[in-house]
Amino acid sequence: MELRVAHLYPDVMNLYGDRGNAIAIRARCARRGIGCTVRPVAIGDRFDPGDADLVLIGGGQDREQRRVAPDLLARGPALREAVEGGLPVLAVCGGFQLFGHRYVDHEGGSIPGIGVFDAETRHPGPAADRCIGDIVVETRFGEVAGFENHGGRTYLAPGQEPFGRVRLGYGNNGEDGTEGAVRGNAIGTYLHGSLLPKNPVLADWLILAGLRRRYGPAVELAPLDDSAEERAHAAAVRAAERRARRPSRTA
């Protein structure tokens, strides 16, 4: 078997190690003897989501988001259709924001998104505190740990499923306890870190969703020795717990 990963704008949307998500996916496939190709998709590249088994997009500062948005917008209809057809996606932070309807940036400029998630993000302006720190989220994949650094606050429309509930940290907006969003096999989240190396259950869920969409529901993944990943996960949770014990913060 082979997993075809499309990595959108890896040269532009790659904050706080998000490239590590592609590295983790490829490594977890290789350890099982599963082929994995990671194809970078740059602005202007030809790309058919039907040729991918998993799509990744990382985070970016407002100016990077403005730079990629027109190209991503043109890919919106095909990506929405592919997600409706079960395409797994991991969209992190700035990428997550652009997979919503729009992101109103720190200067009040509206950057249009592609509406995979029924969500909107608004930056409260440069005077507002950023949502920065270690974060732990309870999700249907179990406990997920990572690092967040965003100014934008994301608000989910009624009926839009969150990725999870914040146990420690800010999450979507520091107000309603939600983090990220899920539609089908597409996951949006604020968690950098990078996310997947220290959350192996989530990494494997994305791999399995991609392989089953291509090879059928009988596909299974052999278990791996995840002792190193679990140590990294526990360290991230401890970091979030230490931060939570510090004086309170405002979102």
**Residues touching ligand GLN, count (CB under 6 A):** 14
Closest residue to ligand GLN, based on beta-carbon distance: 59
Residues in region 101-120 near ligand GLN by CB under 6 A: none
**How far, in Å, CA of 19 to CA of 31, rounded?**
19
Nearer to ligand GLN by Cβ, of 188 and 197: the residue is 188
Long-range contacts from 199-204, C-beta under 8 angstroms, 24+ separation: 199/141, 199/144, 199/145, 199/146, 199/229, 199/233, 200/28, 200/224, 200/226, 200/229, 200/230, 200/233, 201/141, 201/142, 202/139, 202/141, 202/144, 203/21, 203/24, 203/25, 203/28, 204/28
Q: Which amino acid is at 221?
A: L
Task: Check residue 94 for interaction with ligand GLN (CB under 6 A).
Answer: yes
State the catalytic residue, choosing from 29, 36, 93, 131.
93
Q: Among 3, 68, 90, 93, which residue interacts with ligand GLN (rule: CB under 6 A)?
A: 93
- Catalytic residue check, 192: yes
- Among the listed residues 10, 151, 180, 210, the single contact to ligand GLN using CB under 6 A: 151
> 36 or 90: whose CB is closer to ligand GLN?
90
Catalytic residue chosen out of the listed positions 7, 101, 123, 192: 192
Stretch touching ligand GLN by CB under 6 A, among 4-12, 82-90, 145-153, 220-228: 145-153
Which CB sits closer to ligand GLN, 59 or 210?
59
Between residues 123 and 212, which has the closer beta carbon with respect to ligand GLN?
123
- Expressed in angstroms, the distance from the first to the final Cα of the chain is 45
Selected from 1, 149, 155, 184, the binder of ligand GLN by CB under 6 A is 149
Q: List the interface residues with ligand GLN, window 43-62 (CB under 6 A).
A: 59-62
Residues that bind ligand GLN (CB under 6 A): 15, 59-62, 65, 93-94, 97, 123, 149-152
Catalytic residues: 93, 192
